[in-house]
Amino acid sequence: MSFESRHAAKLPACSVILPRATVGNRRGWKYDAGMAKLFEDAETAEAPPPDGPPVAAVGIAVAAGVWSTYDYLYPAELGTPAVGQRVRVPFGRGSRKIFGVVVDAERMSTRKAIKAVAEVVDARPLFDESLLALGRWISEYYLAPLGMVYAAMAPSAVGRHAEKSETVAFLTSERRDWPSRLGGRQKRVLDELLEARKQGVEPLTLEGLMHHSGASRDTIKRLAGRGLIRLDTRPVTLEMLSPELEADPFELNEDQQAVMAALSPKLTDGFSTTVLFGVTGSGKTEVYIRAIRQVTDAGKQAILLVPEIALATQTLQRLLKRLPRVAVMHSGLTDAQRAFHWRQIRDGHASVVVGPRSAVFAPTPNLGLIIVDEEGESTYKQDTAPRYHGRDVAVKRASLVGAPVVLGSATPSLESWHNVELSRYDILRLPRRVRGLPLPALEVVHLRREMQPGRIELIGKTLTNRMAAALDRGEQIILLMNRRGYASYVFCPSCKWEMRCPSCWHPMVFHQATQLVMCHYCNHTAALPEHCLDCGGKLLLFGLGIQRIEGELTRKFPAARTARMDSDTMTSPRQFRKVFDDFASGELDILLGTQMVGKGLDFPRVSLVGVVSADTSLAIPDFRASERTFRLIVQVAGRAGRAERQGQVVVQTLHPDEPAVKLAAEHDYDGFVALEMAQRADAKLPPFTRMVRFIVRHNHQLKAVAGAEELAGRLKRLLAPAGVAVVGPAPADIPRIRDQFRFSILLTASRAGVVQKVLGGRMAGLLHDIHAEVIADVDPVNFL
Ligand code: ADP
Ligand code: ZN
Ligand code: ZN
């Protein structure tokens, strides 16, 4: 890594006033850039046209950054308009066609140059009244244009690619027949197919194959032309329908029975929200299965939301074997499959929908239950517009249709816990592990004392010894290295100088994203020095990346079979499956991974879990850092000792006295929550307040500043009378991303809905003439 930090000099040296979260996924930026353009279009599109004689028209919410609905003619040859129907309409300059939803089927329009609907996506509306109402609520609450909300609620492919058949590929050659001179992509296509055959999931869809191999349609067709593979078409099928259900493998234990006895009447009693607080391995999933079955037996549907990653795990396999007609929504689905699923669900052919946050929108006709598993996970928050939270939308949807919600977790979020304390949510507990298994014993070790002098190692003495012993006994190990935050310490190898914070003496951490050095305690930031401040020697960035640990494992345990699992190595669902399967069958000894390995895994032979550094997630200066660290430790520790063997957990840290670490080691959720709640209440942070964050960005720093200041002024004028605190603009924690300067404005209100009430119906005016891109994030989770 270069020491030159080109940006550092130019950036404002901001001391961070805002809490912040993870270096998150940035897939969303592109979409928002598009949104900026749409705002421009909207200016021309919204110029009031002269009035004409009234004509019959429809009102449409278009998928663009505009704050009103638009009138369109509905040509007779398209049939009869219906509310909830999806259409494509010309919009803005030129005649670009975009997605829209009919929200008013009988509108009289006096607009003059009125355009006509171009295409009807589905003749029978996909959205029923309750889904339309849910969309309106999301639009109002999350300050997002209605048409964009509707576009997010239906997978974009639905309709457009609603083919009834799809192309699939079979392998027709053996590896030894493959020509030696194959292109990289061609080779990858063949490898994918070979792997699929080994796993018994051949054929693969052409679309999926293109996605995972990076090969084009033509490349794949050429392979078929050479006789190495065969292409075929087949009807689209609703994946993973259970052919035959397995009987219940055991009786519910006493705790589970007590929970079911309390839950069962709620399942037929309209809307309610219940937090199911059960320690890891307490049998929550089993409770989900029984509750879902009660609902499906009564002819209704259930939705189970899971953090994205859990879709690859055994939990899913268990659900499929035990529940009827499960539709699984996951990122590996092709467009055609997705479209097909959505229609099958609408037509009532699926009883259960399992999926990540967007599955909360599944158009089930007779919804009877929503379960949100590990409701505290940050993956439930969408980081592109509309920035909704899957759990909160689940609760809203359930209230609209009069169905119960269950929020399950071993570490409920403080938001949900607060609602329990206010008696808005009910609580049921599973305080013990099933079959009398003990919770794993946690050992917190001080990383500094664990290191051999003069060596930079990440796996200390204690963990190394425990690992060696576990491997000797033929047991398996999970190692967690949460790489989020990318922390690197600044260190001089020649004089052992370490860069420390001038005010609190904690080691400073270099941030890749900002190219700045930061103290994670007081948030003091500084430029990276060019040379050691003590001896003038060359400085070293001592990183804690996962690859580094992989190298260390090879040196220390050369005989152990290790797999690494992180977003760099796991690029397709099949790769996940392979590592899971190999670990389950005992072909691997050590599974090293990021937070991916922390959730939902149930491997009986895992006796040891090592948290390489609890500090990487603590280090992130965000008011939820402690909560996240606590959750992460409890979750990953929960992977150990799930069968007969007593589980053991070693947590390495530089801050062994940190309450989140200490209390996690004692499995003391109640203690942690009491402490954390008190601090949040003192600091007026959520769940005691509600936040809304605006980001203003532009390629030109001055325009970004001007836009941010104008917006902040308007927000202050509007919101100060309502008692809302408006702080900023200030440079965002990542002040510059991809050449865009970013400024943030943070609103804090004492209650939910205050900001929305004031800004409702005023968004167009609020953003008018602000010549920078504006992002609104309600209840923000990611503060970067
Ligand atoms: P959680 O979701 O709370 O982590 P699970 O539902 O995955 O817990 O249960 C943990 C393990 O215990 C699973 O392997 C499951 O099959 C098993 N299990 C669950 N309930 C029972 C029970 N009543 N009796 C025996 N084993 C059970
Ligand atoms: Zn400091
Ligand atoms: Zn030095």
pLDDT score for 311 = 60
Looking at the CA of 490, which ligand is closest?
A: 3
pLDDT score for 543 = 64
Q: SS in 3 state form for 689-707?
A: CEEEEEEEEECCHHHHHHH
| Cβ–ligand 1 contact at 408 (below 6 Å) | no
Is 32 a residue whose pLDDT tops 60?
A: no
Please give the distance, rounded to the nearest whole angstrom, from the Cα atom of residue 499 to the centre of ligand 3. 10
What φ, ψ does residue 731 adopt, rounded to 5°?
Answer: -55, 140
Please give the distance, rounded to the nearest whole angstrom, from the Cα atom of residue 491 to the centre of ligand 3. 8
Provide, rounded to the nearest whole percent, the portion of the chain with pLDDT above 70: 82
Contacts (Cβ under 8 Å, ≥6 apart) of 453 = none
Please give the distance, rounded to the nearest whole angstrom, from the Cα atom of residue 7 to the centre of ligand 3. 24
Please give the distance, rounded to the nearest whole angstrom, from the Cα atom of residue 316 to the centre of ligand 2. 45
Question: Which of these, 206, 372, 182, 172, lies nearest to 274 by C-alpha position?
Answer: 372
Which of 186-190, 234-238, 257-261, 728-732 holds the top average pLDDT? 257-261
Band (pLDDT 50/70/90 cuts) for residue 526 is confident
Which of 335-349, 408-422, 564-578, 728-742 holds the top average pLDDT? 408-422
Which of 351-355, 448-452, 594-598 holds the top average pLDDT? 351-355
Is 579 a residue whose pLDDT tops 90?
A: no
Is 776 a residue whose pLDDT tops 80?
A: yes
Band (pLDDT 50/70/90 cuts) for residue 271 is very high
Residue 184 has which token pair? Answer: 């990289």
Is 486 a residue whose pLDDT tops 60?
A: no
How many C-beta atoms surround the C-beta of residue 262 within 10 A? Answer: 13
Q: What average pLDDT score do residues 651-680 get?
A: 91
| Cβ–ligand 1 contact at 411 (below 6 Å) | no
Is 750 a residue whose pLDDT tops 70?
A: yes
Residue 28 has which token pair? Answer: 């969303």
Query: Three-state SS for 540?
Result: strand
C-alpha pair distances (Å), 493 with each of 39, 482, 487, 538: 52, 25, 18, 8
| Cβ–ligand 1 contact at 248 (below 6 Å) | no
Please give the distance, rounded to the nearest whole angstrom, from the Cα atom of residue 414 to the centre of ligand 1. 25
Please give the distance, rounded to the nearest whole angstrom, from the Cα atom of residue 542 to the centre of ligand 3. 14
Q: What's the CA gap between 777 and 692, in Å, rounded?
A: 6
Q: What is the mean pLDDT of the chain?
A: 82
pLDDT score for 738 = 63
Q: Which atom belonging to ligand 1 lies closest to the Cα atom of 638?
A: 4
Band (pLDDT 50/70/90 cuts) for residue 25 is very low
Q: List beta partners, residue 116.
A: 73
Which has the higher per-residue pLDDT, 369 or 623? 369
Return the H-helix or E-strand segment holding 129. helix 129-141
pLDDT score for 319 = 84
Question: Which of these, 251, 312, 316, 339, lies nearest to 287 by C-alpha position?
Answer: 251
Q: Which of 44-48, 485-489, 665-669 has the lowest mean pLDDT?
A: 44-48
| Cβ–ligand 1 contact at 414 (below 6 Å) | no
Q: List beta partners, residue 329.
A: none
Looking at the CA of 534, which ligand is closest?
A: 3
Please give the distance, rounded to the nearest whole angstrom, from the Cα atom of residue 762 to the centre of ligand 3. 57
Q: Which of 375, 429, 602, 636 to mutate to test the pocket of ligand 1 (most atoms within 8 A of CB)?
A: 602
CA nearest ligand 1 atom 9, residue: 283
Residue type, 374: E
Q: Which of 80-89, 609-618, 773-782 has the lowest mean pLDDT?
A: 609-618
Q: Which atom belonging to ligand 1 lies closest to the Cα atom of 256?
A: 23
CA 288 and chain centroid, separation: 21
Is 74 a residue whose pLDDT tops 90?
A: yes
Kindly provide the b/e burial profile for residues 600-619, where b requires at least 16 CB atoms within 10 angstroms of the residue's own CB. bbbbebbbbbbbbbbbbbbb
pLDDT score for 62 = 93
Please give the distance, rounded to the nearest whole angstrom, from the Cα atom of residue 103 to the centre of ligand 2. 54
> 17, 730 in Cβ contact below 8 A?
yes
| Cβ–ligand 1 contact at 284 (below 6 Å) | yes
Q: What average pLDDT score do residues 490-503 get?
A: 78
Is 601 a residue whose pLDDT tops 80?
A: no
Return the H-helix or E-strand segment holding 59. strand 51-62
Question: Which of these, 656, 660, 672, 673, lies nearest to 443 by C-alpha position?
Answer: 656
Q: Which of 253, 286, 599, 669 to mutate to test the pocket of ligand 1 (most atoms within 8 A of CB)?
A: 286
| Cβ–ligand 1 contact at 285 (below 6 Å) | yes
Which has the higher per-residue pLDDT, 302 or 29? 302
Residue 89 has which token pair? Answer: 């309409």
Give the strands of the sheet with 773-778, arranged side by side. 725-737, 740-749, 690-698, 773-778
Residue 575's Cβ-count burial label (10 Å; 0-12, 13-18, 19+) is middle
Give the strands of the sheet with 367-373, arranged side by side. 326-328, 352-355, 301-305, 367-373, 404-409, 272-278, 426-430
Q: What's the CA gap between 654 and 661, in Å, rounded?
A: 11
Please give the distance, rounded to the nearest whole angstrom, from the Cα atom of residue 341 to the centre of ligand 2. 52
pLDDT score for 1 = 34
| Cβ–ligand 1 contact at 432 (below 6 Å) | no
Residue 36 has which token pair? Answer: 């900026």
CA nearest ligand 1 atom 23, residue: 252
Contacts (Cβ under 8 Å, ≥6 apart) of 244 = none
CA nearest ligand 1 atom 20, residue: 283
Question: Which of these, 615, 714, 691, 749, lies nearest to 18 by C-alpha position?
Answer: 691
Kindly provide the b/e burial profile for residues 404-421, where b requires at least 16 CB atoms within 10 angstroms of the residue's own CB. bbbbbbbbbbbbbbbbbe
Q: What angle do CA 69, 73, 77 make, to 5 degrees?
A: 135
| Cβ–ligand 1 contact at 635 (below 6 Å) | no
Q: What's the CA gap between 305 and 262, in Å, rounded?
A: 22
Looking at the CA of 436, which ligand is closest?
A: 1
Q: Which of 276, 277, 279, 285 to mutate to test the pocket of ligand 1 (most atoms within 8 A of CB)?
A: 285
707 backbone φψ class: left, alpha, beta (φ>0; ψ -120 to 50): alpha
pLDDT score for 326 = 87
Question: Which of these, 350, 419, 429, lies nearest to 391 by C-alpha position?
Answer: 419
> 183, 223 in Cβ contact below 8 A?
no
Q: What average pLDDT score do residues 685-709 get?
A: 93
Identify the sign of the CA torsion 394, 395, 397, 403.
positive
Residue 724's Cβ-count burial label (10 Å; 0-12, 13-18, 19+) is buried
Band (pLDDT 50/70/90 cuts) for residue 158 is very low
Q: List beta partners, residue 743.
A: 696, 731
Q: Which of 57-61, 506-510, 607-611, 670-674 has the lowest mean pLDDT?
A: 506-510
Q: What's the CA gap between 456 and 131, in Å, rounded?
A: 55
Q: What's the CA gap between 584 and 123, in Å, rounded?
A: 47
Q: Which atom belonging to ligand 1 lies closest to the Cα atom of 279?
A: 3
Looking at the CA of 260, which ligand is closest?
A: 1
C-alpha pair distances (Å), 120 with each of 22, 49, 71, 74, 152: 41, 26, 15, 10, 18
Please give the distance, rounded to the nearest whole angstrom, from the Cα atom of residue 500 to the centre of ligand 2. 8
Q: Which atom belonging to ligand 1 lies closest to the Cα atom of 285?
A: 6
Q: At what angle do helices 314-322 and 284-297 cross, to 10 degrees?
A: 30
| Cβ–ligand 1 contact at 280 (below 6 Å) | yes
Give the strands of the sheet with 70-72, arranged side by side. 70-72, 51-62, 97-111, 86-90, 119-120
Residue 363: DSSP 8-state: -
Looking at the CA of 277, which ligand is closest?
A: 1
Q: What's the CA gap between 86 and 487, in Å, rounded?
A: 46
Is 512 a residue whose pLDDT tops 70?
A: no
Query: What is the value of pTM for the model shown?
Result: 0.79
Is 91 a residue whose pLDDT tops 50?
A: yes
Is 117 a residue whose pLDDT tops 50?
A: yes
Please give the distance, rounded to the nearest whole angstrom, from the Cα atom of residue 655 to the centre of ligand 3. 25
Q: Which atom belonging to ligand 1 lies closest to the Cα atom of 251?
A: 23
Q: Which of 119-123, 219-223, 502-506, 576-580 has the lowest mean pLDDT?
A: 502-506
339 backbone φψ class: left, alpha, beta (φ>0; ψ -120 to 50): alpha
Please give the distance, rounded to the nearest whole angstrom, from the Cα atom of residue 271 to the centre of ligand 1. 27
Looking at the CA of 504, which ligand is closest?
A: 2
> How many residues are given for the chain?
784
Looking at the CA of 525, which ligand is closest?
A: 2
Please give the distance, rounded to the nearest whole angstrom, from the Cα atom of residue 522 to the centre of ligand 2. 4
Band (pLDDT 50/70/90 cuts) for residue 450 is confident
Which of 319-323, 334-338, 521-525 holds the top average pLDDT? 319-323
C-alpha pair distances (Å), 670 with each of 89, 323, 410, 417: 54, 34, 11, 10
